[in-house]
Structure 1
Amino acid sequence: MSSEHFDVVVVGAGISGVGAGYFLQRDCPDKSYVILENRADMGGTWDLFRYPGIRSDSDMFTLGYSFKPWTEQKAIADGPSIWKYVHETAAEYGIDKHIRFNHRVVRASWSSDAARWTVEAEHDGAIKRFTCKFFHVCAGYYNYEQGFLPQWEGVSDFKGRIVHPQHWPEDLDYAGKRVVIIGSGATAVTLAPAMTDKAAHVTMLQRTPTYMVSLPAEDALANWARKHLPAQFAYDLTRLRKIVFQQFFFRLARSRPAKTRERLLGLIREQLGPDYDMETHFTPPYNPWEQRLCLVPDNDMFIAIREGKVSIATDQIERFTGKGLKLKSGQELEADIIVTATGLNLRMLGGADIVVDGRKIDPGKSYTYKGAMLSDAPNMAFVFGYTNASWTLRADLINEYVCRLINYLDLYGLASATPRVGEGPHEDKPFADFSSGYFQRAAHLLPKQMSKAPWKQNQSYAHDLMDLRYGLIEDGVLEFKRAKANVEPAAPAAGAKPELVG
């Protein structure tokens, strides 16, 4: 079977993959690359989700790229605006010309003898092959084909319509209908106020509450800076301010959980009044930032509750009925439409099989190196953004690091770089220090981390900035092998030479 060769194969044309294309063009201009995208369009998350009110749960000054200023008025942007931003970026830098759509990567195999990856992708019912020196997965972390759906008794009895937000039907008419949204995460908190534009009433049914925090949809200071300062400088300044605040708030929440909880709940109480049952509906059984906080732009959720358009039920489902849901408390919620905002199914590496010299790599039994590579997988990286801040902050840093590593291999005439776990005792830790259900369900699929760098994920932008952008490539953990061809290495840069193996 014939194949096409590129220096780099990137998987996924979402916000991470388009970013990877930019950094490859900027930092590795002599390298060829292709982006293989499973879907028929770019945008990833922002092309997949089409439910009412779809928006970011992070500000666009940090969810946006470091190299392309966000210029819209709203800092908390709607999905179509983010989709447009990704498309504009790809077109502006010519990245769109490198994308192959409807290519689902199913397998990537590394050969140490050839020092290259062979990537197999399904396209139009056939397998297409690509070879490359470096394989970079930017496919996100969840299954695009199927969201998470618990098993409930009596689902077939319900006479109305059941909808999952990941597969929102274009023909859904909820005007004048009673809507029950099952869930309490970002999707449910977005949908509930958004659907009040037409629905007769919306009920958000949750097993346990989620911490919520309100922010203005527009950042007045950022908009002022954009008018009075050079565009990139104004953007960088706002971005820095947002990063510092995100990191400060996260560290504060972890170090002083009781005070943070008190403050978060106090702000909601100010919106809903002293008589609202905060203990039942807004007080989670865990500390702030043990799960991701839900963003409420311009208090839209709280306003909808005050106006009687949205109500919250905190209970568990006993079964579906013909008219709606019977709860374990005995209450029955009548509904015309039930929206199952019950979360995501996580999937590593786009679901592709990874094989190294004939041995299949199980990500769940591997370790994550710098949160960007897998142990024992040569010349391969993946993007997994922050759980406590904007995804793109980390995606940009990982994409930069990939380019640094590629250039380093060239500089010294090296064939491969492989993270190796050394001998000796070490403490295994889960990939993410998060108690969210979708992480707990997928814990066996995610690589492990340790308690010490470079096998530790700090969830700290400042730490990652120093490590990924400025840290030494040669750190005693990456194992380097020289290319078999007799290539004279270029003059070494300042710093120690890599240890060559083989």
Structure 2
Amino acid sequence: MSAEPIASTEHFDVLIVGAGLSGVGAAHHLRTAFPDRTYAILEARDALGGTWDLFRYPGVRSDSDMQTLGYRFRPWTGVKSIADGPAILQYIQDTAADAGIDRHIRYGHRVTAASWSTEDALWTVTVEHDGETRQLTTNLLYVCSGYYHYDSGHRPAFPGIEQFGGTVVHPQQWPAELDYADKNVVVIGSGATAVTIVPAMAGQARHVTMLQRSPTYIAAIPGEDKLANRLRALLGDRLGYAVTRWKNVATTTAIYQLSRRRPRLMRSVLRKGAVKLLPPGYDVDRHFRPRYNPWDQRLCLAPDGDLFTAIRRGGTSVVTDEIAGFTETGIRLRSGTELPADVVVTATGLRLLAFGGIRLTVDDRPVQLPETMAYKGMMLSGVPNFVFTVGYTNASWTLKADLVSEYTVRLLRHLDEHGYDQCVPVNDRTDVAERPLLDFQAGYVQRSMHEFPRAGSRRPWRMGTSYPNDLLLLRHGRIDDGALRFRRKPAVHRAAAQVSSPGAPARQ
């Protein structure tokens, strides 16, 4: 895919980093609200779609319903509520093409650094493209790069893996030519990726084993939301989608709240669901009874109970044990058992990376991310004109992404109406205790949270986990709330800008 060339002196009102689900959504909100504002999306890879273009492993799909993973402004019209990766990618591509957003994407443009000048009220953004380093300027830097390394996933140092004679693959770098037909496959892991891959490979492999160190909560849900499809037929795409979206928000919120307040009850419900779907006499407590409470880690979904169905049919098994080491023909476990394997899939998680690894400086001072605090889960203390998107861990990512975009539109309007050039969150309260940005017990989160900004114990520094609460705060809450500070450029620079562009508006 060809990339539009950029000049070293190009300026944009807004620069968006990342052309995935969040970046395309952000562009749509901005161009709808401000059709005359200039913007570009800088994408390090050669295609749009982010996660949904990167991951190509068997069965790749959403782990949230598409009525909430889809954009608020664009109804999901697919029959399946739990959609596969190619369908989600097509949805993002169609959104970008229909709005002309795809013409503003600069592919192969990796942002490595961004420097803010208070004197000029500008970000200078350093970009690598085709082996060259270039710079762009912008009034607002909007980072939608997700929170993990796109280059490689997390793979533990397994003892003896170098002597294994089979094939080892990580889901994040799935080889298109991999042939696993009639082979023994071991999938290491028990998170959403493993729960997806195991039933998808079961139809072709000789035997698939999900090897887990400890169990995960897995809930069987319908892959198709029949009520959503009926509502769409009765009310039309837009209204039917809106009603279903709120129905699903209410349902997932209630399940999450019940899990936190009545964990014993939810443990019992999930266990009974597994017992019902597994073969009689199956050791449910060993393989499907986690040590933690529901939603201490993300709840995995099995659309139409596909994982349980694969186990029931045979040819698929779950082993709960620890890896002692690899052999030439498989994996040796702590219990002494050896699992034969031709293919090993290391579904062992992500490597987190804050803001795509961009080095931030403010007035020549490097920004130390762990020393900053996240304002409303979307800006950083002490960092002007900077917005980022991090979605929910207990609900659909896009629910939060849409709200961040809506708030950004409101913020830009506030700046325009009051003649401001800059806004920066300032935490000068002494009663705000530090919290992790993502208060989540998953291993991939715990490994890297020390490298991320902090959240706070009180609003507006608390990282929201409730869509209804965040909706009130971000869509309807005050912009000028005391924590967000505003200023104008020095008059001498404003006058110089007007002289250099006679007759042009002095908006920055």
Q: TM-score range by the shorter chain?
A: over 0.9
1:330-369 mapped onto 2 (5 Å cutoff): 330-369=336-375
Instruction: Return the TM-score normalized by structure 2.
Output: 0.95
For residue 294 of structure 2, the aligned residue among 273, 288, 297 is 288
Q: % of aligned pairs identical? A: 51
Count the aligned residue pairs. 488
Q: Would the aligned equivalents of 2:68 and 2:245 in 1 still touch at CA under 8 Å?
A: yes
Deviations 1:87-129 (A, max 9, x none): 0000011111110000000001000011000111110000121
The alignment status of 1:374 with 2:403, answered yes or no, reads no
For residue 3 of structure 1, the aligned residue among 1, 9, 24 is 9
Q: Would the aligned equivalents of 1:28 and 1:407 in 2 still touch at CA under 8 Å?
A: no
The alignment status of 1:109 with 2:132, answered yes or no, reads no
Q: Would the aligned equivalents of 1:413 and 1:483 in 2 still touch at CA under 8 Å?
A: no
The residue number in structure 2 matching 1:94 is 100
Deviations 1:155-213 (A, max 9, x none): 11100000000000011000000000000000000000000121000000000100000
Q: Would the aligned equivalents of 2:18 and 2:43 in 1 still touch at CA under 8 Å?
A: yes
Instruction: Return the TM-score normalized by structure 1.
Output: 0.96
Offset at residue 366 of structure 1 (A): 1.2
Offset at residue 431 of structure 1 (A): 1.1
* 2:340 maps to amino acid: E
Offset at residue 403 of structure 1 (A): 1.4
The residue number in structure 2 matching 1:164 is 170
Q: Give ranges in structure 1 of 5+ residues lacking alignment.
A: 489-502
Q: Give ranges in structure 2 of 5+ residues lacking alignment.
A: 1-6, 496-508
Q: Would the aligned equivalents of 2:377 and 2:464 in 1 still touch at CA under 8 Å?
A: no
**The residue matched to 2:423 in structure 1 has which SS?**
strand
The alignment status of 1:215 with 2:221, answered yes or no, reads yes
The alignment status of 1:394 with 2:400, answered yes or no, reads yes
Larger deviation: 416-425 or 348-357?
Answer: 416-425
For residue 237 of structure 1, the aligned residue among 224, 243, 247 is 243
1:296-445 mapped onto 2 (5 Å cutoff): 296-445=302-451
The alignment status of 1:68 with 2:82, answered yes or no, reads no
Offset at residue 309 of structure 1 (A): 2.0
Offset at residue 423 of structure 1 (A): 4.3
Deviations 1:409-438 (A, max 9, x none): 111111111111104243111112210001
For residue 271 of structure 2, the aligned residue among 250, 265, 270 is 265
Alpha-carbon distance in 1 for matches of 2:174, 2:483:
46
Q: Would the aligned equivalents of 2:119 and 2:489 in 1 still touch at CA under 8 Å?
A: no
* 1:225 maps to amino acid: L
Deviations 1:246-288 (A, max 9, x none): 1111011000000000001111100114411111100000000
Alpha-carbon distance in 2 for matches of 1:79, 1:357:
42
Alpha-carbon distance in 2 for matches of 1:210, 1:413:
52
Aligned-residue CA RMSD in angstroms?
A: 1.2
1:23-62 mapped onto 2 (5 Å cutoff): 23-62=29-68
Q: Would the aligned equivalents of 2:352 and 2:448 in 1 still touch at CA under 8 Å?
A: yes
The residue number in structure 2 matching 1:120 is 126
Larger deviation: 38-47 or 410-419?
Answer: 410-419
Q: Would the aligned equivalents of 1:305 and 1:311 in 2 still touch at CA under 8 Å?
A: yes
Larger deviation: 419-428 or 306-315?
Answer: 419-428
The residue number in structure 1 matching 2:161 is 155
Deviations 1:346-376 (A, max 9, x none): 1110111011111111222211100000111
Offset at residue 30 of structure 1 (A): 2.3
Offset at residue 482 of structure 1 (A): 1.5
The alignment status of 1:465 with 2:441, answered yes or no, reads no
Deviations 1:58-78 (A, max 9, x none): 000000000001011000000
Alpha-carbon distance in 1 for matches of 2:429, 2:24:
38
